[in-house]
Amino acid sequence: MVFLSNAISEARIKETNSNGVHHADSVNTSVYGTRWAAEDIPRFAMPEVSSNLPSLHITHIAYTQRKKCLPVSPEDSMNGVTVTYSHLTILLIVDMAYRLVKDELQLDGNPALNLATFVTTYMEEEAEKLMTENLSKNIIDAEEYASSAEICNRCVNMIARLYNAPMHDSSSEALGCSTVGSSEAIILSTLAMKRRWQLARKAKGLSTENPNLILGSNQQVAWHKATRYLEIESREVDCTEGVYCLDPVKAVEMADENTIGYTGHYEDVKKVNELLEKKCAETGWDIGIHVDAASGGFVAPFVNPDLEWDFRLPRVVSINVSGHKYGLTYAGVGWAVWRSPEYLPKDLIFNINYLGSDQASFTLNFSKGAAHVIAQYYVLIRLGKAGFTKIMTNLTNTADHLAECLLNSGRFEILSEGNGKGLPLVAFSLKGEQHYDEFDLSAKLRERGWIVPAYTMAPKLEHKKLLRVVVREDFSRSRCELLIRDIVAALRALDTVDQKTVEAFRALKDAHAHRSLHQSIAHYKVKDSEPVQGPNGEVHSLEIKKAPGIC
Ligand SMILES: *Cc1c(COP(=O)(O)O)cnc(C)c1O
Q: Where are the domains of the chain?
A: 21-107, 126-379, 389-523
Q: Determine the average pLDDT of the residues in 305-320.
A: 96
Q: What's the Cα-to-Cα distance from 249 to each of 100, 255, 271, 273, 275, rounded to whole Å?
A: 57, 11, 8, 11, 7
Cα–ligand 1 centroid distance for 509 (angstroms): 28
Q: Which of 11-15, 24-28, 35-39, 292-296 is modeled with the greatest confidence?
A: 292-296
**494 has pLDDT over 90:** yes
Cα–ligand 1 centroid distance for 268 (angstroms): 18
Residue 237 gets which letter from DSSP? E
294 lines ligand 1 (CB under 6 A): yes
**93 has pLDDT over 80:** no
**379 has pLDDT over 80:** yes
Please say whether the beta carbons of 521 and 542 come within 8 A: yes
The pTM of this model reads 0.85
Model pLDDT, residue 39: 75
- Ligand 1 atom with the shortest distance to the CA of 265: 13
- Ligand 1 atom with the shortest distance to the CA of 220: 11
471 lines ligand 1 (CB under 6 A): no
Name the band, by pLDDT with cuts 50, 70 and 90, for residue 162.
very high
Please say whether the beta carbons of 316 and 343 come within 8 A: no
- Ligand 1 atom with the shortest distance to the CA of 334: 7
265 lines ligand 1 (CB under 6 A): yes
Please say whether the beta carbons of 350 and 116 come within 8 A: no
Question: 401: closest CA among 328, 475, 491?
Answer: 475
218 lines ligand 1 (CB under 6 A): no
Cα–ligand 1 centroid distance for 75 (angstroms): 56
**24 has pLDDT over 80:** no
Model pLDDT, residue 217: 78
**443 has pLDDT over 60:** yes
Please name the CATH architecture into which domain 389-523 falls. Answer: Alpha-Beta Complex (3.90)
Residue 119 gets which letter from DSSP? S
Return the CATH class of domain 126-379. Answer: alpha beta
Cα–ligand 1 centroid distance for 439 (angstroms): 23
329 lines ligand 1 (CB under 6 A): no
Which is higher by pLDDT, 462 or 310? 310
Cα–ligand 1 centroid distance for 111 (angstroms): 18
- CA 439 to CA 456: how far, in whole Å? 10
Mutation to probe ligand 1, out of 188, 298, 325, 472 (largest number of atoms < 8 A from CB): 325
Name the band, by pLDDT with cuts 50, 70 and 90, for residue 274.
very high
Model pLDDT, residue 83: 47
Q: Determine the average pLDDT of the residues in 526-548.
A: 59
**250 has pLDDT over 70:** yes
Model pLDDT, residue 522: 45
Tens of pLDDT, residue by residue over 406-420, are 999 999 999 998 988
